[in-house]
Structure 1
Amino acid sequence: MTYEETLDYLYNQMPEYQRIGERAYKVGLDNSLVLDNIFGHPHRHYKTIHVAGTNGKGSTSHLLAAILQESGYRVGLYTSPHLTDFRERIRVNGEMIDKNFVVDFTKKYRVQFEPVMPSFFELTMEMAFLWFAHQKVDIAVIETGLGGRLDSTNIITPMLSIITNIGLDHMKFLGDTLPLIATEKAGIIKQGVPVVIGEKGNQEVERVFRDKAASLQAPIRFAEEEINDLSAVRAGSRWIFHTREYHSIICELGGFAQQKNARTLLTAVALLREVGLVIPRDAVYRGFSQVITLTGLQGRWQLLQQKPKIICDIAHNEHGLRDVMEQLKSEQYNQLHMVFGMASDKDRESVLPLLPKEARYYFTRASVERALDEQLLQEEARAYGLTGERYGSVAQAVATAIKNADENDLIFIGGSSFVVADALPLFS
């Protein structure tokens, strides 16, 4: 098979949750454990760091990988979903997995893994673990896919666990209250393994984390307590963070949420030093300031064009979009144009009230089965005072927004990672 044929096989034979939703979701670790045995437990050949959370886990994973790379380690990075290239999910020191390895892996092990009937995520996770072993990484940063306790990645025993925050998302699978979701995310906490909690949440959520950590004798650190003096100043499209220990950390990521992520990262760095990693101060500065260059991260308050200014962001739930909408308020423009689409399984009743009523909307549908019909989105949005036209593709919506916008207007593209994924190639 060619590389393209291999991808077609993986997408069509191994159901992918990101693309088709609920039908691809498999509960439990049974498949992951069987696959891991087939491939010889490759993740045991290097240290791992496990990252979960409702929002911010992708940025946190990339920032941590960048800092560790700049500390001289060979670092694997496994994240999902990808935006424009499947290989974004699996990187070593920022370089995407080799196409030939994807083909050879599928060809070599197909007879062994097909009877297991794994999901796309379960199989590509093992592909990543094996690639990292082949590449002789020192450490791999592993992002969960969905939840924690029953997530495929939860077969690893990391040197550090990180839970960024808890918000209402994937409630059909994780529970419909914050404590229930926190319980699922807390499932990545392991016996004796330190854990960093980025945002405490409410008292019930905090108690879930404290109780779980205590039951497993896992040292727990809350980033809001550890880094309680962080201040942030805007510098163009970037942030400059200040703490007692670090002065003038320049962060290449410009989203409002990065202030919270910075606390999480600095707390994690301190803990990793305690367990024996050598992380120089200048590596922390370089990791923050060059994270996009070092890891290829995309889609986080990303500036795509000037005049008119075009920004995209993959935030897709109430917890994430609240920060993004606040950041939009801080921008200066004559008219705001919103190219907006959602996944069909997201909670529109919590998202639509957050959106600015004064904007001109271009309701659209991403090119995945899971995307919400643009006409339905337009009709539901109207009840919240949001008006605009609908478009059957992101490309058509973006092109129309650009045609309608003056050079001092702002175009925002978002509502779903799939909308951003369809938009990015238009600006490459």
Structure 2
Amino acid sequence: MPKTLPEWLDYIERQHPKSIDMGLERVRAVAARLGLKKPAKKVITVGGTNGKGSTVAFIEAIARAAGWKVGAYTSPHLLAYNERVRIDGLDADDAALVAAFAAIEAARGDTPLTYFEYGTLAALWLFAHSKLDLAILEVGLGGRLDATNLVDPDVAVITTVDLDHQDYLGDDIEAIGFEKAGIARAWKPLVLGDDDPPASVLRHAYAIGANTLRAGCDFFFDTADGPGNRFSPTDATPPAAGHWTWRETRRALQDLPLPRLAAPAQLRNAATAIAALRALGKALPTTAVAAGVAQAHMRGRLQRFMRKDVEVVVDVGHNPQAARELARWLATAPTTGRTHAVFAALGDKDVRGVVEALAGRIDAWHLAGLAEHGPRGVDVDAFAARLAGTAAGDGARHATVERAIHAALEQAAAGDRVLVFGSFHTAADALAGLEGARS
């Protein structure tokens, strides 16, 4: 039997023949043997293509500022597995995770579980023993058949819907939307961060009687520069510069600080988080909202470092929708010099779509391989071949992300920027070198 956390992680990775095996039968059976029911007094489940992790961070920070005891389960991690489970703002320690995995192993019998299913059950087991006011669960893949969906949430959130993971979720937005809408529950709130969500999401919500709350329809946000969505009321007091306003039909939260998280989309994520917490029906002081919005942070979301006179920015963005948001950020945060891209992605991603979204904002490309990151990883030559004919196709090639960053910094002049992106693995490799060794 494994004893340490690294031993357990190695063990659980080998207990199922597939890394992804979607479905709830196995994980539900083991949860029943563990006696796992609701992991907290209230539960919010967050799904979507992009923005899930940031929305969880905003919900967590606001709720904690309001004095609630909060647990958050997110994935994947960047530098240490412990990042996936937070209780009262602290990552779970090795001993707690080891105890959770041992309990799961004792209960599962001969039921095979995937790595993610083990992790989800471990988080729920730890939450159930922590007497939480609120548990926040981030969907791993899709929603309907994701392990997190064994819990009935009080509020479900879908941040965005776009093309990603088509091998598992379907080839078009409507099919993917249906899978993500599976986290909604009958007669419970479903918060939608998109102004114009797929019809499949709205149809499913209507069919089960979920109460949809839509950005641009049921809640709104605007800044001193103009509305963040399609709402521009004539009787509103304009926010002061550097502040923003969140609104619903009967209430407005004014003069909120701008998010510490930098991308333009983070204002929408913060607004969606506020809507989700309001949908719980619990008191939410404006001071707690302001403090949470200002304090929420996450690694690998436009995380900035300075290397001499060159800014290095690391982001986990890995699909065309995320790339479009990166392009928007580059447009709103220009540098005095050139922008160098370090780009590395897994083999199943729409890398040509990513480059197309960013091409006009990048001056020099450095491609890197992720061959060491499992069966989905590719070496740099195979990666470059997939980009032939694009703006990045003739970029410099490097075996690893670390080497690509080093080369980009060598090429960069004072005032330039190096943007590192393309995968959670890319961000993890970058952060391991930029802020410390990987755990």
What is the aligned partner in structure 1 of residue 67 from structure 2?
A: 72
Matched residue, 1:255: 263
Correspondence 1:225-236 to 2 at 5 A: 225-231=217-223
Which residue identity does 1:59 align to in structure 2? S
- Cα separation, partners in 2 of 1:174 and 1:301, compared to 1, 3 Å: same
Instruction: Answer whether contact 2:39 2:127 (CA < 8 A) is retained.
Output: no
Q: Which has the higher helix share?
A: 1
Q: Deviations over 1:339-360 (max 9, x none)?
A: 1101111122322212326522
Deviation at 1:124, TM superposition (A): 0.7
- The offset of 1:134, in angstroms, is 1.5
Question: In the alignment, which of 303, 321, 345 is matched to residue 342 of structure 1?
Answer: 345
The residue that corresponds to 1:18 in the other structure is none
| Deviation sequence 1:280-329 (CA, Å, 0-9, x none) | 1100001010112xxxx211111122520110111111111111022223
Pair 1:134-2:129 in alignment = yes
2:379 to 373, 376, 400: 373
CA distance in 1, matches of 2:74, 2:311: 28
- List per-residue Cα deviations over 1:357-416 (Å, max 9, x = no partner): 652221112341122321122233341132322111111111121222112110000011
Query: Which letter does structure 1 place at the counterpart of 2:301?
Result: R
Counterpart Cα distance in 1 of 2:109 and 2:396: 45
8 A contact 1:79–1:143 mirrored in 2: yes
Aligned equivalent of 2:322: 320
Residue 174 of structure 1: aligned partner: 169
State the TM-score, normalizing by the size of structure 1: 0.90
In 2, Cα distance between the equivalents of 1:398 and 1:37?
47
Aligned to 1:281: 286
**TM-score normalised by L of structure 2:** 0.88
C-alpha deviation, 1:111, in angstroms: 4.2
Q: CA deviation at 1:220?
A: 1.1
Rate the CA distance shift 1:230–1:162 in 2: closer, same or farther, 3 A: same
Question: What is residue 361 of structure 1 aligned with on the other side?
Answer: 365
Does the CA contact (< 8 Å) of 1:227 and 1:266 recur in 2? no
Tell me the secondary structure at the aligned position of residue 300 of structure 2: coil
Q: 1:97 aligns with which of 92, 98, 106?
A: 92
Aligned to 1:19: none
Match of residue 200 from structure 2: 208
Shift of 1:42: 4.2
- 2:261 and 2:302 in contact (8 A); partners too: yes
Q: CA deviation at 1:158?
A: 1.2
* Residues in 1 aligned to 2:184 and 2:411: alpha-carbon distance in whole angstroms: 50
- Indicate which of 33, 37, 57 corresponds to 2:52: 57
Of all paired residues, the percent bearing the same amino acid is: 30
Find 1:32's aligned residue among 7, 27, 34: 27
AA partner of residue 70 (structure 1): A
Task: State the superposition RMSD in angstroms.
Answer: 2.1
Partner of 1:187: 182
Do residues 221 (structure 1) and 205 (structure 2) align?
A: no
Deviates further, 259-268 or 241-250: 241-250
CA distance in 2, matches of 1:334, 1:229: 33
Q: How many residues align?
A: 408
**CA displacement 1:63-106 (0-9 Å, x = unmatched):** 10111111111000001000101011100121011211222333
- 1:314·1:414 contact (CA, 8 Å) conserved in 2? yes
The 1-side partners of 2:287 and 2:161 are apart by 31
Contact 2:59 2:274 in 1 (8 A): no
Are the aligned partners of 1:165 and 1:200 in contact in 2 as well (CA < 8 Å)?
Answer: no
Amino acid at match of 2:354: V
| Offset, 1:132 | 0.9
SS of residue in 2 equivalent to 1:103: helix
Any idea what SS the aligned residue of 2:367 has? strand
Answer yes or no: is the 8 Å Cα contact 1:55–1:164 preserved in 2: yes
Moved more, 405-414 or 355-364: 355-364
- Compared CA separation, residues 62 and 381, structure 1 to 2 (3 A): same
Match of 1:269 among 270, 273, 277: 277
Aligned to 2:391, which of 372, 385, 392? Answer: 385
Indicate conservation of the 8 Å contact 2:369/2:383, yes or no: no
Q: Relative to structure 1, is the Cα distance of residues 414 and 303 closer, same or farther in structure 2, using a 3 angstrom cutoff?
A: same
CA distance in 2 between partners of 1:195 and 1:226 (Å): 11
